[in-house]
């Protein structure tokens, strides 16, 4: 249950000139019908990360990995952004110094209209050449649903394409991570709908706090970050962000 006192405290910190950074995780898309990773209904309950989301898994069985990503692309294509995505898209217009970081690969922030999203874990709507052939760019968009063949072939070398996501055991895109670190120089940092266990993303809220930001968690469950943040709004993202937006009043 959301405490009106805490909503008021956070909304007062969200001043028009404040530097505001929000980092989202799978929970922000839960109300849209996109499954989260952990917890009783999470994707990692039935499958092992290392079998589907690692370079080793792809090298072993690209078809198996692509079947899983193809299933997720079809599922996500049928989902629409929810109130949490909408509030965050509107905050980009409302606050001139607003940054949105996401661990999500689903593209729902962009579909809600959020500009310049820093995608820490890539995008399920991008692909890259598995062989990193000379003719292909690093990543490019391909929203085909379904692909005619799996794995889809690289248009440049004919080898297999890979999903444009960051797998376990891979490093994050250096420039994206650097921009996330810069966004930790902020007045308010909200971590929304993430279990806060996957690093380095999970460490960003600590970086922000050490640099003096007020830190806020939005999550109906306690997480690894709950005891370290200044304020916990213990509710779903779509409810808590809508309540904050309402408390802010008209722009």
- What DSSP assignment string belongs to 144-192? -SS-SSSSPBPTTTSSBEEEEEPPTTSPPPHHHHHHHHHHTSSSEEEEE
Q: Compute CA 164 distance to the chain's CA centroid, rounded to the nearest angstrom.
A: 14
Stretch that binds ligand OAD, among 20-28, 85-93, 124-132, 182-190 (CB under 6 A): 20-28
DSSP E strands, 47-160: 98-102, 118-119, 122-129, 140-141
Cα(234)–Cα(217) distance, rounded to whole angstroms?
Answer: 8
Contact 203, 105 (CB under 8 A): no
Applying CB under 6 A, among 37, 69, 95, 189 the residue interacting with ligand OAD is: 37
Nearer residue to ligand OAD within complex by CB, 36 or 114: 36
Active site residue 138: no
Calculate Rg over the CA atoms of the chain: 19
31 binds ligand OAD (CB under 6 A): yes
d(CA 234, CA 5): 13
Shortest distance in whole angstroms from residue 236 CB to ligand OAD = 3
Which x/- pattern, by CB under 6 A, does the window 47-86 give for ligand OAD? ------x---------------------------------
| Subset of residues 115 to 134 that bind ligand OAD, contact rule: CB under 6 A | 121
Give, as ranges, the residues between 139 and 198 that touch ligand OAD (CB under 6 A). Answer: 165-166, 193-195, 198
Residues numbered 197 to 236 that lie near ligand OAD (CB under 6 A) are: 198, 219-221, 223, 236
Task: Name 203's Cβ contacts closer than 8 Å, sequence gap at least 6.
Answer: none
Position among 26, 65, 108, 216 found at the interface with ligand OAD (CB under 6 A): 26
Which listed residue (10, 23, 25, 188) binds ligand OAD by CB under 6 A?
Answer: 25
Residue 74's Cβ-count burial label (10 Å; 0-12, 13-18, 19+) is exposed
Beta bridge partners of 23: 101, 191
Measured from the CB atom, the residue of 19 and 195 that comes closer to ligand OAD is: 195
Q: Which residues bind ligand OAD (CB under 6 A)?
A: 25-27, 30-31, 36-39, 42, 53, 103, 121, 165-166, 193-195, 198, 219-221, 223, 236-237
List residues with catalytic annotation: 121
């Amino acid at each position: 249950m959301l405490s009106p006192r805490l909503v008021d405290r956070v909304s007062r910190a969200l001043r028009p000139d404040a530097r505001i950074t929000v980092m989202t995780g799978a929970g922000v898309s839960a109300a849209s019908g996109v499954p989260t990773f952990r917890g009783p209904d999470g994707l990692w309950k039935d499958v092992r990360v290392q079998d589907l989301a690692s370079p080793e898994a792809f090298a072993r069985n690209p078809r198996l990995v692509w079947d899983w990503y193809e299933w997720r692309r079809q599922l996500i294509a049928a989902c629409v952004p929810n109130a949490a995505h909408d509030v965050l898209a509107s905050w980009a217009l409302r606050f001139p110094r607003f940054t949105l970081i996401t661990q999500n690969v689903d593209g729902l922030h962009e579909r809600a209209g959020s500009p310049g999203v820093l995608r820490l874990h890539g995008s399920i709507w991008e692909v890259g050449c598995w062989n990193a052939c000379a003719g292909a760019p690093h990543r490019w968009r391909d929203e085909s649903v379904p692909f005619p063949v799996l794995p889809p072939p690289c248009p440049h070398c004919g080898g297999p394409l890979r999903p444009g996501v960051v797998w376990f055991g891979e490093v994050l895109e250096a420039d994206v991570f650097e921009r996330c670190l810069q966004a930790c120089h902020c007045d308010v940092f909200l971590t929304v709908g993430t279990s806060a266990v996957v690093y380095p993303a999970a460490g960003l809220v600590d970086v922000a706090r050490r640099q003096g930001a007020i830190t806020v968690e939005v999550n109906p469950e306690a997480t690894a970050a709950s005891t370290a943040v200044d304020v916990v709004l213990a509710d779903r993202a779509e409810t808590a962000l809508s309540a904050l937006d309402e408390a802010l009043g008209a722009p």
